[in-house]
Every structure is written in structure tokens, then in C-alpha cells.
Amino acid sequence: MSHQTTQKTLFAILAAAAVTLVCALGAAATSQDKPPFAKRDYWMPEWMMREPGGPGPMSPTMTARMLRHAEFLNFGVPAAYQDVHSPIKDDPKAIAEGRALYQSHCARCHGEDGLGDGDTGKALSPSPAVLAYMITQPISVDRYLMWSISEGGKKFGSKMPAFKDQLTRDDLWEIIAYMRAGFPPVDMKLPPPETQDPYR
């Protein structure tokens, strides 16, 4: 048997094995009530995941989330955001101002309560981040949030605008403080925001 024939045979065996594996994964996925690995999804909450239907290309929303998160985890943030820390601890006045700024600049896409259901956001693909979920995750440290809001999502294929030229850093810290406080309404007593940074 010639070397070329051996290579063709090996390629055919590998291709058949790959098809078998994909079919097995598809069968396993469609036989479950939830998408595979749903409990390990770090990009979106389970109730935002697509319906089970077997393996396939990721949605634009999932792709944008993964690209941003992967860049942060692998390369960190640009130097301008590397050592930033929120100056706001438990300041009801700053959080109230953050609420007003959030309602003016963020709610139309991310929703009144950070659920990604703003009127403008409903027409976007990738969809706006579900901030009420994201803000509770370990990745939501000061430098990640300041970088994401300041630079926007153009690099990752999303319509998130860059706010670094529209709002001051103090404004952005107030918005972040409001999100960390749990998107409270104006008349609600504010709990202390969680500002610990597990990546320090």
C-alpha cells in the first residue's frame, strides 16, 4: 500500500469517527431537558440559554460574551484600566446619582432592572448583557466593569457604545455602585455594595 493510499485511508477513518462523535453528542443533547452543561454556563443565566436542539454554532450573543470574557481572562485589561478601584463604598447619594445616570444612559438597552429587556435592546443582536446576573459573578471586578463600560463592545461585535467620552469616570463609578447595590428603586434603603475583588 502506497504512502498516499495510507493517508487517504487514515483520513477516511478519522472523518467517520468525527461524524459518529457529532451524532452521539447530538443525540445526547436532544435527549436532555436542558442544554448540555447548562449548570456550568458562565456567560448567561440558564433561563437565557437557547432551547435544546443539539450542537450547532453559537449565537451572536454567546459569541460576544465569550470573546470579551476570554480577552479579560487571558490578557487582562489595557493599562488605562489596570489599577482602577471604585472610590464608592456605601454612599447612598452616589448610588442614587448612579441610578439617574443608569436610567438616562443604560436602561433603554439593559432594562430598568438590568434584565437586558430594554425597548431598544430587544432589537439588538448580540442582545444586551443581563447586568443583574453579570454583576453578581466573580468576573465583575472594578477593572473589568470600568473597561467594559468605557470602551463599549465594538471590538466584540456588539452595539454597546463606548462611554469614556460621554461620561466621566466618577459618573461610571456611580453607575457601577448602583448596579452593585442591586438596581434599587429611589425610595428603597440601600444595602452595602459588594466591592471585593477576588482577582487582586
Cα of 99 vs its chain's centroid, Å: 21
Inter-residue contact 76 to 179 (CB < 8 Å): no
Rounded distance between C-alpha atoms, residue 149 and residue 52, angstroms: 32
Q: What is the CATH number of domain 62-180?
A: 1.10.760.10
**Count of CB atoms within 10 A of residue 109's CB?**
23
Per-residue pLDDT of the chain (200 residues; tens, 9 = 90+): 555 555 555 444 444 444 444 444 444 443 334 333 334 444 455 445 555 555 567 788 888 888 999 999 999 999 999 999 999 988 999 999 999 999 999 999 999 999 999 999 999 999 999 999 999 999 999 999 999 999 999 999 999 999 999 999 999 999 999 999 999 986 655 555 454 454 44
The values of phi and psi at residue 65, to 5°, are: -60, -45
Inter-residue contact 44 to 134 (CB < 8 Å): no
Task: Report pTM.
Answer: 0.67
Q: How many CA atoms lie within 13 A of 82 on its CB side?
A: 5
126-157: burial string, b at 16+ Cβ within 10 Å, e else: bbbbbbbbbbeeebbbbbbbbbbbbbebeebe
User: What residue ranges do the domains of the chain occupy?
Assistant: 3-48, 62-180
Residue type, position 178, single letter: Y
